[in-house]
Amino acid sequence: MASPSPSPSPSPSRLTRPPVPMKLHISNRQKLLSSLRRHLSDSSLPLHGFVFLQGGEEQTRYDTDHIELFRQESYFAYLFGVVEPGFYGAIDIASGKSILFAPRLPADYAVWLGEIKPLTYFKEKYKVSMVFYTDEIAEVLQNEYQESNKSLLFLLHGLNTDSDNYSKPAEFQGIDKFETDLTTLHPILTECRVIKSDLELALIQFANDISSEAHVEDQVGVFLLPCGDITVEMSFLNRHCSYTCICATGGNSSVLHYGHAAAPNDRTLQDGDMALLDMGAEYNFYGSDITCSFPVNGKFTSDQSLIYNAVLDAHNAVIAAMKPGVRWTDMHKLAEKIILESLRRGGILVGNVDDMMVERAGAVFMPHGLGHFLGIDTHDPGGYSKGMERPKEPGLKSLRTIRELQEGMVITVEPGCYFIDALLVPAMENSNTARFFNREAIRRFQGFGGVRIESDVHVTATGCKNLTSCPREVQEIEAVMAGAPWPPDKVSIYS
């Protein structure tokens, strides 16, 4: 190689990528099989039929030939780990055999899109029992069922409680020859995804490690590129984000889902602004979801410390209390209470915090839920099991789960405190809550925006483990922004 160019560059991560073992997807399938077989036995149903899923298809943008970046459908990714579009997958419930169906590619694919892989390639890559073409589905599945006239397919159909959308059951030419079951699979498979295996945890940990590092780089780099908050998206590559980055500064940080088309992360940084960066990488489908808040000029003002520490105390108290059996609604209320207490101590609120809790005043400052399951989806499914009802009260109704914690769950802890006119104005006018607000202090925080601190937390047998490792204390953030290494024991790469 020629000698390196003299130009500076961001330092490459020294993290080593964990191997992506197909074992992970094999064990996901085994987990589903045990669970499904148990369910069928309990219902005195025969252990036969196929779990049958359709993978995602590539989409073009409107009428053009612009192909959107493909991401596999999450349930399909969970069971098969397939990265290519156009696949189907089946699992024989009796034998446990797994079958993939690959699209038959036209000959000129080899010219435009690369080598056409033989079926054996996919069998080897994805460690399944058999691979056929998608135009052979009906034939293959029927051959496996010599004994019965109509084979049974368990298709995926059910509600995503975050989007209110239903998953689309598989469709293929010849499906009318099969009996189909649309109700059994979805709740069972969703429940499998709620509890993470060690193999899954390793990937979520890695996604957290890269993302934590990228957040630290942004805190260092924010000085150097003071030309718009868009620049901080830089550490996150297109292909590897688990969701659209939220990069808000100043007043924008109180827009909870900032970063969409009408608010595209384009405000210019201003001295004195707080920044709120909500960004997470994904690795082999498994994601991270991390928020850091910090002053763009590297030094907290006392007002900024007040709000920041209110949120940090809530974040830390929740993590200290988390363990199996704890109810997530109680954790949400714990966070609210700590934030309200801090605001009262800081003179922003007045009166009795228990009274504030009764009037749901916490939801004025934190209208969103405390956190959500995290996995292959940023908002991983399963937050509401069958029969669980969504609360009606402000704040609580935004919870994406109300379940008791169980060992193996991964859930985000993301308390926040925001000054949102659309909530503050009515609350200060409402006769039940008006008395709690110190108007002068509230006026001081107009345009402040908000603070959120979000970590990804794994529930263990006896407590929990925080998978995220960003600077969190005020002094830590100020030190890192002044050039100190992170983690503190790391030798600086710049010195």
One-letter-per-residue 3-state SS of the chain: CCCCCCCCCCCCCCCCCCCCCHHHHHHHHHHHHHHHHHHHHHCCCCCCCEEEEECCCCCECCCCCCECCCCCCHHHHHHHCCCCCCCEEEEECCCCCEEEEECCCCCCHHHHCCCCCCHHHHHHHHCCCEEEEHHHHHHHHHHCCCCCCCCEEEECCCECCCCCCECCCCCCCCHHHCEEECCCHHHHHHHHHHCCCHHHHHHHHHHHHHHHHHHHHHHHHCCCCCCCHHHHHHHCCHHHECCCCEEEEHHHHHCCCCCCCCCCCCCCCCCCCEEEEEECEEECCEECCEEEEEECCCCCCHHHHHHHHHHHHHHHHHHHHCCCCCEHHHHHHHHHHHHHHHHHHCCCECCCHHHHHHCCCHHHHCCCCCCCECCCCCCCCCCCCCCCCCCCCCCHHHCCCCCECCCCCEEEECCEEECCHHHHHHHHHCCCCHHHECHHHHHHCCCCCEEECEEEEEECCCCEEECCCCCCCHHHHHHHHCCCCCCCCCCCCCC
- Among a second copy, Mn ion, none, the one that 491 touches (CB under a kind-dependent 5 to 8 A) is none
- Among a second copy, Mn ion, none, the one that 289 touches (CB under a kind-dependent 5 to 8 A) is Mn ion
- Among a second copy, Mn ion, none, the one that 163 touches (CB under a kind-dependent 5 to 8 A) is a second copy
In angstroms, give the least distance from the CB of 452 to Mn ion. Answer: 9
The reply on whether position 412 binds Mn ion by CB under 5 A is: yes
- Among Mn ion, a second copy, none, the one that 60 touches (CB under a kind-dependent 5 to 8 A) is a second copy
316 or 455, CB closer to Mn ion?
455
In angstroms, give the least distance from the CB of 379 to Mn ion. Answer: 7
- Among a second copy, Mn ion, none, the one that 412 touches (CB under a kind-dependent 5 to 8 A) is Mn ion
In angstroms, give the least distance from the CB of 219 to Mn ion. Answer: 19
Out of 282, 289, 336, 456, name the contact with Mn ion by CB under 5 A. 289
- Among Mn ion, a second copy, none, the one that 71 touches (CB under a kind-dependent 5 to 8 A) is a second copy
26 or 203, CB closer to Mn ion?
203
288 or 433, CB closer to Mn ion?
288
- Among a second copy, Mn ion, none, the one that 252 touches (CB under a kind-dependent 5 to 8 A) is a second copy
213 or 289, CB closer to Mn ion?
289
In angstroms, give the least distance from the CB of 307 to Mn ion. Answer: 19
71 or 123, CB closer to Mn ion?
71
Taking the chain, what is the end-to-end CA distance rounded to the nearest angstrom? 25
- Among Mn ion, a second copy, none, the one that 367 touches (CB under a kind-dependent 5 to 8 A) is a second copy
21 or 298, CB closer to a second copy?
298
Scanning 206-214, 231-239, 283-291, 396-404 for contacts with Mn ion by CB under 5 A, the matching segment is 283-291
In angstroms, give the least distance from the CB of 50 to a second copy. Answer: 21
In angstroms, give the least distance from the CB of 27 to a second copy. Answer: 23
In angstroms, give the least distance from the CB of 258 to a second copy. Answer: 7
Size of the site for Mn ion (CB under 5 A): 2
Q: Which tokens in the block code for residue 97? A: 């055999």
In angstroms, give the least distance from the CB of 11 to a second copy. Answer: 8
212 or 378, CB closer to a second copy?
378
In angstroms, give the least distance from the CB of 245 to a second copy. Answer: 8
45 or 225, CB closer to a second copy?
225
Contacts of 456 (CB under 8 A, 6+ apart): 204, 208, 288, 289, 290, 374, 410, 411, 412, 466, 467, 468
144 or 289, CB closer to a second copy?
289
- Among a second copy, Mn ion, none, the one that 149 touches (CB under a kind-dependent 5 to 8 A) is none
Which residues of this protein are in contact with Mn ion, per CB under 5 A?
A: 289, 412
